[in-house]
A and B are shown apart, each in its own frame.
Chain A
């Protein structure tokens, strides 16, 4: 199913506004988005559902601008939108003091190739900018200095259990624990090195 929703034929239909295809996408992906958000942001499932649905609403409105020709995967694009939607919700929650539904104003749409350039998910709806904690900036630099494999295992472990990763990668739990442990050690070294410089 994952291959199907990323297939050229299916993506063309979704981008073209085919309602049935969007329905398939919604049914397949939204529950997974909710689970992802709940896991990554440690949110109650009800809040994660709210954010996942908001994200799919953004997808519905912005998908006509999704550009698969640059190698972007539809599912990755959608997950990025969901992640950013969650970040926006939490930032606004911090400023308002409680979790509230964020009314969806008309989207200021930007081409999805902005995502490819690493600047956004291509859907900017008044992103709330707040100052970054120094440790977050240092952590980002530390992460960027690691290999792709190290980054992958560290980020996967934030949302998945070892057993889940092992099943997908066809690896043993023991191997994954070792990989994670070593990646964490390298991350610590890079982070502390950044602290000293």
Chain B
């Protein structure tokens, strides 16, 4: 039996379910000998990881919101529920983390983003257009409320805390979404929603339509 045949059977065996368990020595040796990965490779792995996290929790696309959320706050809550960072979501979307931050905070209305960018987001989170419509409707309702400005909150020491301000704004958004009445989208939003549907159709995301 030559070396080639012997090594072929060895490899089959090591790659089978009767393979011996890996030893600390073997693993340590491999890790030590393995070069550092490129940032691009890590980016691809991170994006794939994020996709699979949402695929595992949303086997069926999300259709019902169960409570009234604004667009950005729902995505923020969903992200936090699976313990992912904005940076990880941004990596999966091939966007800057500021894109995710602005979207979640509602600093920019969703229909100000391109249908393609929101299509990427919707596909990643596996959200059905029924749910997207509800989220947009809630966001419209909140955006139409008068007198809203930047929210600040004071800590007990009397100083304004940015984190506390963010937390207060999130609570306010949720409150307002629940209290706001039904909102009718104007032509801009209607056209944008059509563009979003077309985008999802173009990329074959029938399960979201």
Contacts and interface: CB of A to CB of B under 8 A. Distances in A.
Contacts of A84: 17
Contact of B18 (A19, A34, A115, A136): A136
Interface residues of B, number: 47
A168 B45 CA distance: 26
B18 A137 contact: yes
B17 A168 contact: no
A159 B3 CA distance: 17
Interface stretch (A8-16, A25-33, A62-70): A25-33
A33 to B, nearest CB: 9
Q: Of A36, A136, A144, A152, which is in contact with the most chain B CB atoms at under 10 Å from its CB?
A: A136
Contact of B15 (A23, A40, A137, A156): A40
A167 interface: yes
A87 B21 contact: no
Nearest to A90: B15
A29 B46 CA distance: 12
Nearest to B88: A23
Contact of B33 (A41, A75, A160): A160
Nearest to A78: B27
B194 to A, nearest CB: 32
B48 A152 contact: no
Contact of A75 (B6, B21, B27, B85): B27
A103 B59 contact: yes
Contacts of A160: 29-30, 33
Interface in A61-98: 73, 75-76, 79-80, 83-84, 86-87, 90-91
A168 B32 CA distance: 7
A166 B46 CA distance: 32
Contacts of B45: 26, 30-31, 34, 49, 52-53
Given A30-B42, A31-B37, A73-B24, A158 B10 contact: yes
Given A54-B52, A152-B23, A168 B10 contact: no
B206 interface: no
Given A90-B15, A135-B9, A144-B20, A75 B52 contact: no
Contact of B49 (A26, A41, A76, A167): A26
Contacts of A167: 33
A59 to B, nearest CB: 11
Nearest to A18: B83
Given A132-B16, A140-B18, A184-B6, A165 B29 contact: yes
Given A49-B45, A139-B12, A139-B13, 16 more contacts: A26-B45, A53-B45, A53-B48, A57-B52, A104-B52, A115-B21, A135-B13, A136-B13, A140-B13, A143-B13, A156-B30, A160-B30, A167-B33, A168-B33, A184-B7, A188-B1
Interface of A: 2, 19, 23, 26-27, 29-32, 34-36, 40-42, 49-50, 52-54, 56-57, 73, 75-76, 79-80, 83-84, 86-87, 90-91, 103-104, 115, 118, 127, 129-130, 132-133, 135-137, 139-140, 143-144, 148, 151-152, 154-156, 158-160, 164-165, 167-169, 184, 187-188, 191-192
